[in-house]
Structure 1
Amino acid sequence: MRNREHREISSNSAVESKYDEYVMPIWKSLDVPVRRADGHTLEDFEGNEYLDCFSGISVTNAGHGNEAVVEAAKDQLDEFVHGCSYVHPNEPMARLAERLAEVTPGDLRKTFFCNSGTEAVEGAIKLARKHTGNTEIVALEMGFHGRTLGSLALTGNKSYKDGMAPTLNDVSHFSAPYAYRCPRCDGDRCTGACADDLEHVIDSHTSGDVAAVVIEPVMGEGGIVVPSDEWLDRVREITHDHGALLVVDEVQTGYGRTGAFWASDHFDVTPDVLTQAKGIANGLPLGAFTASADVADSFESGDHLSTFGGNPVACAGALANLEQLLDGIVDASAENGDWLGDRLADLEADFEVVGDTRGLGLMHGVELVDPERTGPRGVAPAPDPDLATRVSERLREAGVVVGVGGFYSNVMRFQPPLTIPRDRLERAVAQLETAIDEASH
């Protein structure tokens, strides 16, 4: 073992060089070395400040460093850090589970706690298989559910799977409700017609042994794709007609992100199993999936376990976070989200390279296109991922962090902390407008 003198990192280049030398290759597309964060602001190691409109991929919904969340975690640290919550019951996990039973849709009642969204999805699949006695899963094209082998099989995008096959074999995919590029929709709104593709896929690509249909109520990595009520109603109907469970992945959309506590609340559809993570504890590592007592009790002791799942420090922070969000933050985000949607729609009218804008609450996407070329399947202008990269770079230079995603990597993703003030949102949109104007020329 080599002894080295450890000095405080004092520059962006210093922390980046340590990543290059000691950390396995990871996603660094935003590339802002963070020394501290507060509210809606990031600060790098050289004192530069950035307006954060991505929230660490929709995680710090209650704002970076939310005082109530931090204090709750600190108080629990003084009591004990770990005792394995599935061996020794503890108060924070018990109270959080009870609170989730109160705020989740319908009769969802019992929760399993884990560490991440990926684990929540994989646990939900195990539960669906155990409850139904079936094995096959159907998920959405363009969907994203995680990067471990089980959740990766559900993810409907080959770019995440390159070099990682084989994953689970019993997974099929059906059409996403992507109205802008759907030949069966009018381009502005999902008509629900593509939901019937689920029936076709079950009949033609499965043996009929379907345990679950897994969807995101708003597709995040897929490009902030919002379905219609008709689509979700039909998907639920087909799912239940085939004796399967509807698993709704709210990992990215939950905890107020869409202007309601759950994106499911926008639709008259109650999940059979609801997965959650990201915004659950405002940055503390925690994930969960919640089901009705009937479905949840299909698990027997030992069927599923997590050493660190339900960590009392994370659960204490999550409890405080939940109350913070319900104390006005979600309502304020809905109002700001309405304003943001209208303002981004102005960009669609002003720029030919803005093909579509869409979203709910503070989860909005701006799809950038090349108007001179036709897109996939002859629908809408071609995606322009190079333009999205240039826009992102200009925004960063202007001190604004916005995500880039979508199936074609051409969607600017607005997902700021829900506590962001209106004037900061106005600044971000103004900078986006400037960046699009400059980058498109």
Structure 2
Amino acid sequence: MTPESALSSLIPADLPQRRQLVTPIPGPRSAELAARRATSVAAGVSSSLPVYVERAGGGVIQDVDGNSFIDLGAGIAVTSVGNAAPAVVAAVARQAQDFTHTCFMVGPYEEYIAVCEQLARLTPGTHAKRSVLVNSGAEAVENAVKIARSATGRPAVVVFDHAYHGRTNLTMAMTAKAMPYKSGFGPFAGEVYRAPVSYPLREAAPITGEQAAARTISMIEKQIGADQVAAVVIEPILGEGGFIVPARGFLPALSAWCTANGVVFVADEIQTGFARTGTMFACEDEGVVPDLITLAKGIGGGLPLAAVTGRADLMDAVHTGGLGGTFGGNPVACAAALATFEAYESADLAGAARAIEAQVVPRLRSIAERAPQIAEVRGRGAMIAIELVRPGTLEPDAAEAGRVARECAAQGVLVLTCGTYGNVIRLLPPLVIPPELLDDALDVLESALMSVVR
């Protein structure tokens, strides 16, 4: 099977790949569900779309009223192979018929081992590796910290401005943005230190990645002490913080410093991983080989699964029983992951991500020439951002980002916002999205961006 035919096989044949609005947004059935939600779902849970999903796959989301939206969110980079890739669906069904759960810590099974074997093969580096499977990205980050502290005997963890690592107590401490992730939920875990990151658009004066890394390293050495640092944890492209792409040289310099000082370098690839940025993992772009890598989102074709994969000596430093969890590495999720890994490679979805970049970025940069509220178009592969500001300044404009997202949704296109300042439109289409569908979505996005200019 060619990569092209493998890619097309990931799209459900009976789900038309088109944008279509047949009711006002939201439609009557979605309005009914919203009323039921108000009486049963906690108010602290938010949703981006004002409609309720009935089917999804390929590059579309179909709601309960029959409206079809173009999906530029992929469940926040989760459904990279689509929401209902037939091969993943079949693998899930087969495994569910055999058994849905035993707990690997009680009755182990081959699927868990097979996922760990594949992670050792796929992740950067040729060194011996081990993995532990868990349920969510935040749980993977927590376990990476546990492993680093156990292996080094040191307490401190260094994270970065604009970072996002999760919603548990430790990962909230590691996350930079207060609202909505941290506000009112403290006190948080200690021995977490925040350092400056390379954010080229917002540097006071242009500096290289190496210079930005020297600034960070100086802060660590002076304010924490290298001999106290267990781990440096960084997203190779910072996700919720605004799809910030550090200047080239920043990540390699940090990684080299960690190696020289016995610090565990942890790449949080939860949002960037699995072909999303045009390579299987984002840190490969500059040849960085992390000591530990945290994985989730795109790992399981939509099922809950996460992992920490890393150097065998570090992973095996933890005492027996120190890692695990009741649902970690659930067999159905593992079956889905194995089918998903096959899809990434057989359909060359890293190549598909690069093709998406080639289609989207020139179009957005052309729009930016005419839309003064666009400060920057950035990203790699199918992880692309538009940062919006008040024209003529770098003052973030969160209201404009919200307006654009709402206008797109009203016209049948899902886009997500992000950023420390809430002023970034992020595009995370499924890697299987048909090019013509993506073009239609870009037409809608362009109209929304240019409407304020007109």
Instruction: Answer yes or no: is 1:349 the counterpart of 2:349.
Output: no
- Aligned match of 1:174: 195
Which amino acid letter does the alignment assign opposite residue 171 of structure 1? V
TM-score by length of 2: 0.90
Give the superposition deviation at 1:440: 4.5
- Aligned match of 2:429: 416
Give the superposition deviation at 1:241: 3.0
Instruction: Answer yes or no: is 1:129 the counterpart of 2:136.
Output: no
Instruction: Answer yes or no: is 1:32 the counterpart of 2:45.
Output: no
- Aligned match of 1:307: 326
C-alpha contact 1:387 1:440 (8 A) present in aligned 2: no
- Aligned match of 1:3: none
Runs of 5+ unmatched residues, structure 2: 1-26
Aligned residue runs from structure 1 range 113-262, under 5 A: 113-159=133-179, 160-185=181-206, 191-208=209-226, 209-262=228-281
Q: Distance in 2 between matches of 1:192 and 1:152?
A: 28
Per-residue CA distance 1:292-331 (angstroms, 9 max, x = gap): 1111110121112210000000000000001001112221
Q: Which moved more, 1:381-390 or 1:159-168?
A: 159-168
Per-residue CA distance 1:234-255 (angstroms, 9 max, x = gap): 1112223332100000000011
Q: Distance in 2 between matches of 1:231 and 1:348?
A: 27
- Aligned match of 1:360: 380
C-alpha contact 1:185 1:191 (8 A) present in aligned 2: no
Which amino acid letter does the alignment assign opposite residue 406 of structure 1? G
C-alpha contact 1:391 1:439 (8 A) present in aligned 2: no
| Aligned with residue 21 of structure 1, among 35, 39, 63 | 39
Pair 439,394 (structure 1): closer, same or farther in 2 beyond 3 Å: farther
Instruction: Answer yes or no: is 1:338 the counterpart of 2:331.
Output: no
C-alpha contact 1:224 1:363 (8 A) present in aligned 2: yes
Pair 250,244 (structure 1): closer, same or farther in 2 beyond 3 Å: same
Q: Distance in 2 between matches of 1:32 and 1:57?
A: 17
Instruction: Answer yes or no: is 1:437 the counterpart of 2:437.
Output: no
- Aligned match of 1:97: 116
Per-residue CA distance 1:205-246 (angstroms, 9 max, x = gap): 325410000000011111111123311111112223332100
- Aligned match of 1:77: 96
- Secondary structure of the corresponding residue to residue 87 of structure 2: helix
- Secondary structure of the corresponding residue to residue 246 of structure 1: strand
Per-residue CA distance 1:55-76 (angstroms, 9 max, x = gap): 0101000012000011001000
Output the aligned Cα RMSD.
1.6
- Aligned match of 2:336: 317
Q: Distance in 2 between matches of 1:185 and 1:156?
A: 23
Using the aligned pairs only, state the percent identity.
Answer: 37
List structure 1 segments (4+ residues) > 6 angstroms apart after TM superposition.
Answer: none
Runs of 5+ unmatched residues, structure 1: 1-8, 375-380
Q: Distance in 1 between matches of 2:54 and 2:219?
A: 48
- Secondary structure of the corresponding residue to residue 369 of structure 2: helix
Q: Which moved more, 1:237-246 or 1:395-404?
A: 237-246
Per-residue CA distance 1:355-376 (angstroms, 9 max, x = gap): 100000000001111014x4xx
- Secondary structure of the corresponding residue to residue 69 of structure 2: strand
Q: Distance in 1 between matches of 2:209 and 2:120?
A: 33
Q: Distance in 1 between matches of 2:205 and 2:117?
A: 43
Instruction: Answer yes or no: is 1:47 the counterpart of 2:66.
Output: yes
- Aligned match of 1:378: none
Give the superposition deviation at 1:256: 0.9
C-alpha contact 2:199 2:247 (8 A) present in aligned 1: no
Per-residue CA distance 1:158-216 (angstroms, 9 max, x = gap): 22221112111101111121100112426xxx543221232222233325410000000
C-alpha contact 2:157 2:191 (8 A) present in aligned 1: yes
Which amino acid letter does the alignment assign opposite residue 305 of structure 2? L
Per-residue CA distance 1:40-83 (angstroms, 9 max, x = gap): 11111111110000001010000120000110010000101101
Per-residue CA distance 1:385-438 (angstroms, 9 max, x = gap): 101111111100110001111111111101000001111111111111100111
Q: Which moved more, 1:428-437 or 1:205-214?
A: 205-214
Q: Which moved more, 1:198-207 or 1:34-43?
A: 198-207
Q: Which moved more, 1:253-262 or 1:324-333?
A: 324-333
Aligned residues, how many?
A: 423
- Aligned match of 1:4: none
Which amino acid letter does the alignment assign opposite residue 211 of structure 2? A
